[in-house]
A and B are shown apart, each in its own frame.
Chain A
Amino acid sequence: MTAAGVRGAPEVVCAAVGKTFATGAGPLAVLEPRDLTLAPGSVTALVGPSGCGKSTLLRIIAGLERPDPGGSVLIDGDEPLAVRRRGEMAIAFQDASLLPWRTAAGNVALAQRLAGRPADPARVSALLRKVGLAGFERARPAQLSGGMRQRAAIARCLVTEPRLLLLDEPFGAVDELTRRRLNIELPPLWSGTSTTTLLVTHSIPEAVLLADRVLVMSPRPGTILADLPVALDRPRRMQHLHSEEFTRLVERVGALLGVDQYAADEG
């Protein structure tokens, strides 16, 4: 069940969004201009090889990067900056990007403060418990494992109840076993809420498992090769990894990206 139409989740409309970087050796096109709409409450995965511009697209949607002239991003009709200023956006980064001098709880509380919300320690510890960090509220990032740091980072994203959640390779820095656990445990915390989600990943199984819709991107300059709906019910569980739909989609995406045997290796 997609959460389409849930009240509060915004629609993201990208029009003619492309990106060219100026380098010493001349302009470098990373992203071909194109239109893209994220339905309210949907979870969309962008999957593609390294350097295909998928993170750039995410950063443009966040407004952290400008699209080339002529392109625009509107979130329910608003500029991204306006959405950020209202504290309605959250981004999870590849490395958890926790501030090393703050505790786990302190890092989560920081997002509340940055978003201009009143401090709410009860909510912070409740959320830490939900992501599986009960008892680690006062631990500093250096004392946490990679997976635990990502859990804290996700808690930091969710504490402000964002309307737009952008996940930039959120599990890219953890080992494969941890990644699978996090893929199952964490998404229920945000899917089904009034949140529109964009996930950038280079893991095909992760994209299929987490998303309602998978956009497959080509190598640089990035363009969208395929737009595949995912017909798996929610909540997603381990069993889905062995379903026919899952296997079919993983193989399909793998074929589009030219990764032979991908399903055999990873699925």
Chain B
Amino acid sequence: MLRTVLGWVMAVGLWELVGRTLLAGRHLVGTPSGIVAKLVDNAEVYGRGLWFTTREAALGYLLGNLAAVALALLVVLLPGVERLVLRFALVVYCLPLVALGPLLRLVYGFGDGPQITLAAFAVFYLTLVPLLVGLRAVPQSWLDLTATYGRGRWTTLVVIRARASLPYLMAGLQATVPAAFLGALVGEFTGAERGVGVLSILALRSLDTDGLWALMLLSTAVSLLGYLLVAWAARRLAVEQPTVLLSTPGHGRGRSASERLLRALGGILVTTSVVLAAWVGVFAVTGLNPYFAKRPWDVWDWLVSSPESGAHRDELLTAALETAAVAIPGYFAGLLLGVVLATLFSLSPRLRRALTPVAVALRCVPVIAIAPLLVAALGRGAFGTAVVVAIMTFFPTLVSCLYGLAQLPGQVADVFATYATPSTRVLLLGRLPAMAPAFFASARIAAPTALLAATVAEWLATGTGLGNMMAVDAATSRYTSLWSTVVVVTLVALAAYALVEAVERRVLRVVAPEQLRW
């Protein structure tokens, strides 16, 4: 106990020292004393901002999770619609939140509506996927049990699936606490009137590093509190840890390659039609002003058929390449760093024990809150944006990999122990393959997030790339351009997700075939 306290005192002292000497004037890290001073001086302003942000995040969290549960139940009762629902949900997850902020603001007018909606969007998919896994991860004999008494889907859902999926739901509910903050913050970055995100932007403009740190720590603390609250509720409900990790459904078993391709193309066609129909339908029903609520044909016109479309495409391509140039290296750097650090930790049991609680805390950092901080610290160039992307990718990767590395079954570990295998070889032959499902699950989810991080950083600072293009479009009311960019960014995010998923299937087919069928 004393040693822990001493350790913390020394760490904070070192931080203060480094902040005051080596890094003074670099706007990278504030000093503990400065942060505390900010917190005290601005207690009322920060407190109010935090209250607004927390309320938005909480409402979005509630709505997004309710939507996810409702859709999951729909899928269980009507299994035919599962692929469609999952694809549609993925499209929603891949929407560029930065551009939705200003667009939603036009719809809702002033207020918290956009932030709440964005929080719900950020949450929705992350709960839906594990919940569906949980609702389906039920032993066949439990299903036979209800069938034995001639009962149907409804009874099975109520008596068996609902309870069996609880651990998965709780895992989703925990993981989405920081995601809700992310959504709310992105909404605040892109033009809200109040909240921590707005305060962060103000602090960023005045190069107030201590203030940025204080705000980031406040968001993290609230997010961590929410996370612990859900974890406590899960324990109270006596919920066990879920065993299967967020895996996508296994499609196309026992089908030929051409058949799979045809089915995939058919699926894309159906999803595209549904998305387009929803787009047109929602706009028609709500009667949104076509001045800003552009329809698919307006986008088509802008991108493809109008005389200036060539210039538009060039503009978009240039911006996309700029974004890719930071997002791709950042993404891979984040993945690599996550894997390498998790691997190093796993080689030392002491380090692992010490870092597991830290990893839990890291999971709760609404990483996007760091974006303004990094932009302030590293400058408004490409490097700063790439670092934002890398960090955004790194945190979830590290946590997933630490979890995954521990998934080597005890009996297999015993086999290695029988031959006194050195831990590096156990790592190579046992732990890394065992880690693959967890790693890919997080890499898949992180691909659209990397794009989000890049566009947020660009929106906030750099003046390049798709994020900047959307910012300029929104500020200058170039709504057709904005909608077209939204479409393109969504498609790019979907492509990135699909690409990671394709690699995942290749790898898992070798190291974890059981993950591909459920």
In the complex, A114 Cα to B150 Cα: how many Å?
8
B307 at the interface (CB under 8 A from A): no
In the complex, A93 Cα to B146 Cα: how many Å?
13
Tell me which residues across on chain B come within 8 A of A24, comparing CB atoms. 253-255
Interface string of B159-179 (1 = CB under 8 A from A): 110010000000000000000
Would A114 and B151 be within 8 Å (CB), given that A24-B254, A99-B160, A101-B238 are in contact? yes
- Shortest CB-to-CB span from A39 to chain B, Å, is 22
Would A111 and B149 be within 8 Å (CB), given that A23-B254, A101-B238 are in contact? yes
- Shortest CB-to-CB span from B115 to chain A, Å, is 37
In the complex, A110 Cα to B146 Cα: how many Å?
10
Inter-chain contact A87/B149, CB cutoff 8 Å = yes
The number of A-B residue pairs with CB atoms under 8 Å apart is 60
A90 at the interface (CB under 8 A from B): yes
Most B CB within 10 A of own CB, among A62, A91, A114 = A114
Inter-chain contact A64/B144, CB cutoff 8 Å = yes
Would A114 and B145 be within 8 Å (CB), given that A24-B254, A87-B150 are in contact? yes
Inter-chain contact B253/A101, CB cutoff 8 Å = no
Question: Which B129-159 residues have a C-beta within 8 angstroms of A?
Answer: 139, 141-142, 144-151, 155, 159
What bracket does the count of chain B residues touching chain A fall in? 20 to 34
A97 at the interface (CB under 8 A from B): yes
Would A91 and B142 be within 8 Å (CB), given that A24-B254, A81-B150, A114-B159 are in contact? no
Question: Which B161-210 residues have a C-beta within 8 angstroms of A?
Answer: 163
Pick the contact of B148: A62, A95, A101, A116 (CB < 8 A): A62
Most A CB within 10 A of own CB, among B141, B163, B255 = B141
Interface string of A88-123 (1 = CB under 8 A from B): 011101110101110000000011011110000000
In the complex, A265 Cα to B253 Cα: how many Å?
42
A129 at the interface (CB under 8 A from B): no
In the complex, A59 Cα to B238 Cα: how many Å?
34
Residue of A nearest to B254 (CB): A24
Pick the contact of A84: B139, B148, B253 (CB < 8 A): B148
- Shortest CB-to-CB span from A79 to chain B, Å, is 10
- Shortest CB-to-CB span from B254 to chain A, Å, is 3
Tell me which residues across on chain A come within 8 A of B148, comparing CB atoms. 62, 64, 84, 89-91, 114
A86 at the interface (CB under 8 A from B): yes
Would A93 and B147 be within 8 Å (CB), given that A24-B254, A114-B155, A114-B159 are in contact? no
Residue of B nearest to A166 (CB): B148
What bracket does the count of chain A residues touching chain B fall in? 20 to 34
- Shortest CB-to-CB span from B237 to chain A, Å, is 9
Residue of A nearest to B147 (CB): A64
Tell me which residues across on chain A come within 8 A of B238, comparing CB atoms. 101
Would A115 and B149 be within 8 Å (CB), given that A24-B254, A97-B139, A101-B163 are in contact? yes
Question: Which A50-100 residues have a C-beta within 8 angstroms of B?
Answer: 59, 62, 64, 81-87, 89-91, 93-95, 97, 99-100
Tell me which residues across on chain A come within 8 A of B155, comparing CB atoms. 114
Tell me which residues across on chain B come within 8 A of A99, comparing CB atoms. 142, 159-160, 163
- Shortest CB-to-CB span from B389 to chain A, Å, is 41
Tell me which residues across on chain B come within 8 A of A116, comparing CB atoms. 149
Inter-chain contact B142/A84, CB cutoff 8 Å = no
Pick the contact of A85: B150, B159, B163 (CB < 8 A): B150
In the complex, A252 Cα to B396 Cα: how many Å?
62
Residue of A nearest to B149 (CB): A114
Chosen A-B contacts, 23 in total, with CB atoms closer than 8 Å, are A24-B254, A62-B147, A64-B147, A64-B148, A81-B150, A84-B147, A85-B150, A86-B150, A87-B149, A87-B150, A91-B144, A91-B148, A93-B145, A94-B141, A95-B139, A97-B141, A97-B144, A99-B160, A114-B145, A114-B146, A114-B148, A114-B151, A114-B159
Nearest 6 pairs of A and B residues by beta carbon: A24-B254, A85-B150, A84-B150, A114-B149, A97-B141, A93-B141
Extra 8 A-B pairs, beta carbons < 8 Å, given A91-B148, A97-B142, A113-B159: A62-B148, A81-B150, A83-B150, A85-B150, A91-B144, A101-B238, A114-B149, A114-B159
